[in-house]
Amino acid sequence: MGTKTDKQGREIVEIRYEMAIPGTFATGPIMGHMLNKLKDKELWGNRCGKCQNVLFPPKIVCPKCFEEPTEWVKLDDWGYIATFDVVHFPTINPLTGIMREVPYTTLIVALPNGGGFFHFCLENDPEKLAPGKKVIPVWKDKREGRPSDLEGWVLEEGQ
């Protein structure tokens, strides 16, 4: 129990506590296949047999055709910046409960053969970033089959 006063000097009585909610999420076979492959530093998406679009992260149905994807595709390990966000306002990482260090950058990576996804960009200078620039992944040494197996994406040399 902590107490403080309002502007008029009246006591405000509050109860303080922190909430921790441990969670475990089943991936299912499709996301599970892709996440498992991250351990081998490989990006796998699935392809819709109708529109030929590659979905990454993979999905159970193509959001455009509503058809079940027909095959797994190993993706090139590079992409283009679709858009980016250099964030200067710290927020809590909901998976760790720890305040993020700023600045940090998120981006949408567009894959050369279709599709796009959110991830981190390791370059925080907006002057150096632009839609269309080529980025490559940086992998963590220790990988456990989750999105953070990728440290993030960096500009390819010469970009």
d(CA 27, CA 30): 8
70 binds another protein (CB under 8 A): no
User: CB atoms < 10 A from the CB of 53, how many?
Assistant: 17
User: CB atoms < 10 A from the CB of 64, how many?
Assistant: 11
Contact range with Zn ion by CB under 5 A, out of 6-14, 41-49, 113-121, 134-142: 41-49
61 binds Zn ion (CB under 5 A): no
H or E segment and range at residue 35? helix 28-38
Contact range with Zn ion by CB under 5 A, out of 44-52, 82-90, 91-99, 142-150: 44-52
d(CA 105, CA 153): 10
d(CA 81, CA 103): 18
Contact 113, 54 (CB under 8 A): yes
Q: Closer CB to Zn ion, residue 42 or residue 67? A: 67
Mark residues 103-142: x for contact with another protein by CB under 8 A, - for none. ---x-x-x----xxxxxx-----x----x-----------
Contact 43, 56 (CB under 8 A): yes
Q: Which does 51 bind (CB under 5 to 8 A by kind): another protein, Zn ion, none?
A: Zn ion
Q: Which does 115 bind (CB under 5 to 8 A by kind): another protein, Zn ion, none?
A: another protein
- Which residues of this protein are in contact with another protein, per CB under 8 A? 4, 6, 10, 12, 14, 19, 23, 25, 27, 31, 35, 57, 59, 63-64, 82-89, 91-95, 100, 106, 108, 110, 115-120, 126, 131, 146-148
